[in-house]
Chains A and B, each alone.
Chain A
Amino acid sequence: MSFLTLDRVSHHYFSKDSYTKALNSISLSLREGEFVALLGPSGCGKSTLLSIIAGIIQQTEGKVLLQGHAIGESEMDIGYMLQQDYLFPWKTIIDNVLLGPKINNKKTEELKNQATQLLDEVGLKAVSGKYPNELSGGMRQRVALVRTLINDPKILLLDEPFSALDYQTKLNLEDLVADLLKSYHKTAILVTHDIGEAIAMSDRIFMMNANPGSIAKVYEVPIELRNEVPFMVRRRPKYQILFDKIWDELEAKESVKKAVEIPDE
Chain B
Amino acid sequence: MNDRQLFERYQQGLKREKKIVLSWQLSILIAFIAIWEIASRLYWIDPLLFSSPSKVVSLIVTRFANGSIFSHLQITLFETIIGFIIGTIGGILIATMLWSSGRFAKIMDPYLVVFNAMPKVALGPILIVALGPGYLSIIAMGFIISVIVTTLVVFSAFNEVDPNYEKVLQSFGATRWQCFKEAIFPAAMPAMISTLKVNVGLSWVGVIVGEYLVSKQGLGYLIIYGFQVFDFTLVMSSLVIIAILAGIMYKLVEKLERWLIRNRNI
Footprint of B on A, CB under 8 Å?
Answer: 51, 54-56, 75-76, 78-80, 82, 84, 86, 88, 90-92, 95, 99-100, 102-104, 151
Main secondary structure of the interface of A (DSSP, over half): loop
Within 8 A of A (CB), among B96-152: none
Known: A80-B167, A82-B168, A86-B165. A103 touches B265 (CB 8 A): no
Cβ of A134 to closest chain B Cβ, rounded Å: 15
> Which of A54, A55, A79, A100 gathers the greatest number of chain B CB atoms within 10 Å?
A100
Known: A56-B171, A86-B168. A103 touches B178 (CB 8 A): yes
The chain B residue with its CB closest to the CB of A131 is B265
Q: In whole angstroms, how far apart are the Cα atoms of A77 and B187 in the complex?
A: 27
Known: A88-B183, A91-B265, A95-B265. A75 touches B173 (CB 8 A): yes
Residues of A within 8 A of B168 (CB): 80, 82, 86, 99
Residues of A within 8 A of B171 (CB): 54, 56, 78-80
Q: In whole angstroms, how far apart are the Cα atoms of A82 and B183 in the complex?
A: 16
Cβ of B174 to closest chain A Cβ, rounded Å: 5
The chain B residue with its CB closest to the CB of A148 is B171
8 smallest beta-carbon distances between A and B, as pairs: A75-B173, A80-B171, A100-B172, A103-B172, A103-B174, A90-B264, A90-B265, A56-B170
27 cross-chain CB contacts under 8 A: A54-B170, A54-B171, A56-B171, A75-B172, A78-B171, A80-B168, A82-B164, A82-B167, A84-B164, A86-B164, A86-B165, A88-B165, A88-B182, A88-B183, A90-B187, A90-B189, A90-B265, A99-B168, A99-B172, A99-B182, A102-B182, A103-B173, A103-B174, A103-B178, A103-B182, A104-B173, A151-B172
Residues of A within 8 A of B169 (CB): 99, 103
Q: Would you call B160 an interface residue if the criterion is a C-beta within 8 Å of the partner chain's C-beta atoms?
A: no
Cβ of B191 to closest chain A Cβ, rounded Å: 14
Q: In whole angstroms, how far apart are the Cα atoms of A220 and B165 in the complex?
A: 35
Residues of A within 8 A of B189 (CB): 90
> Which of B173, B174, B264, B265 gathers the greatest number of chain A CB atoms within 10 Å?
B173
Known: A80-B167, A95-B265, A103-B178. A88 touches B186 (CB 8 A): yes
B173 touches A86 (CB 8 A): no
Q: In whole angstroms, how far apart are the Cα atoms of A55 and B170 in the complex?
A: 8
Q: Would you call B46 an interface residue if the criterion is a C-beta within 8 Å of the partner chain's C-beta atoms?
A: no
> Which of A51, A80, A86 gathers the greatest number of chain B CB atoms within 10 Å?
A86
Known: A88-B182, A88-B186, A90-B264. A56 touches B173 (CB 8 A): no
Residues of B within 8 A of A51 (CB): 167
Cβ of B168 to closest chain A Cβ, rounded Å: 5
Cβ of A88 to closest chain B Cβ, rounded Å: 7
Q: What is the 8 Å Cβ interface bit string for chain B, positions 171-213, against chain A (1 contact, 0 not)? A: 1111000100011001101000000000000000000000000
Cβ of B186 to closest chain A Cβ, rounded Å: 5
The chain A residue with its CB closest to the CB of B164 is A86
Q: What is the 8 Å Cβ interface bit string for chain B, positions 211-225, against chain A (1 contact, 0 not)? A: 000000000000000
Q: In whole angstroms, how far apart are the Cα atoms of A128 and B183 in the complex?
A: 20
